[in-house]
Amino acid sequence: MKADVFVNLCVQDVKRSRSFFEKLGFEIKEEYSDDTGYCLSINERAYAMMLGLEKYMLFSKNTVVDSFKHTESIFSLDLKTPEKVDEILEKVKKLGGSEIGKASDDEYMYYRSFRDLDGHHFEVFAMKKQG
């Protein structure tokens, strides 16, 4: 079975979060966006619904984790080249996000991790060609 992927994430300030990701170069799907949340397009089949708390709680009755203290998940994005990985991390830091650890360069991939303005953990990487 193939299906489009929509990941829901809770954000503290919808406008601030949206501005952060737009400045990183992500596309916003306006048809799924309003003042209560927005749809971040990862690619043609994967999206992140960045929702304010009230909207987010319509989908889950569980306590929302503090992403700065607890890891809810790690969202990994293949940026294809080490240069793009470094470029996005420089933008993240300029926009108020924070790098987690240092760049890693192993036999399989080059990667770096960061937290967005709400503490969500992202990993951006470039796979190395094998063989």
Q: What is the pTM of this model?
A: 0.89
pLDDT band at 131 (very low <50, low <70, confident <90, very high): low
* Average pLDDT of span 15-28: 98
pLDDT at 35 (0 to 100)? 97
For the chain, the distance separating the N- and C-terminal CA atoms, rounded to the nearest angstrom, is: 30
- Is the domain 1-59 a CATH 3.10.180.10 member? yes
The 10s digit of each residue's pLDDT in 48-88 is: 999 999 999 999 989 999 999 998 899 999 999 999 999 99
Q: Where are the domains of the chain?
A: 1-59, 71-131
The CATH architecture that domain 71-131 belongs to is: Roll (3.10)
pLDDT at 40 (0 to 100)? 97
What are 106's two structure tokens? 């192993």
Mean pLDDT score of the chain: 96
pLDDT at 2 (0 to 100)? 85
Q: What is the 3-state secondary structure (H, E, C) of the chain?
A: CCCCEEEEEEECCHHHHHHHHHHHCCEEEEEEEECCEEEEEEECCEEEEEEEHHHHCCCCCCCCCCCCCCCCCEEEEECCCHHHHHHHHHHHHHCCCEEEEEEEECCCEEEEEEECCCCCEEEEEEECCCC
The 10s digit of each residue's pLDDT in 30-58 is: 999 999 999 999 999 999 999 999 999 99
pLDDT band at 29 (very low <50, low <70, confident <90, very high): very high
Asked if the domains 1-59 and 71-131 are classified in one and the same CATH topology, the answer is: yes
Q: Answer whether 85's CB lies under 8 Å from 39's CB.
A: no
As a whole number of angstroms, the distance between CA 65 and CA 91 comes to 26
Within 10 A of 14 (CB to CB), how many other CB atoms are there? Answer: 19
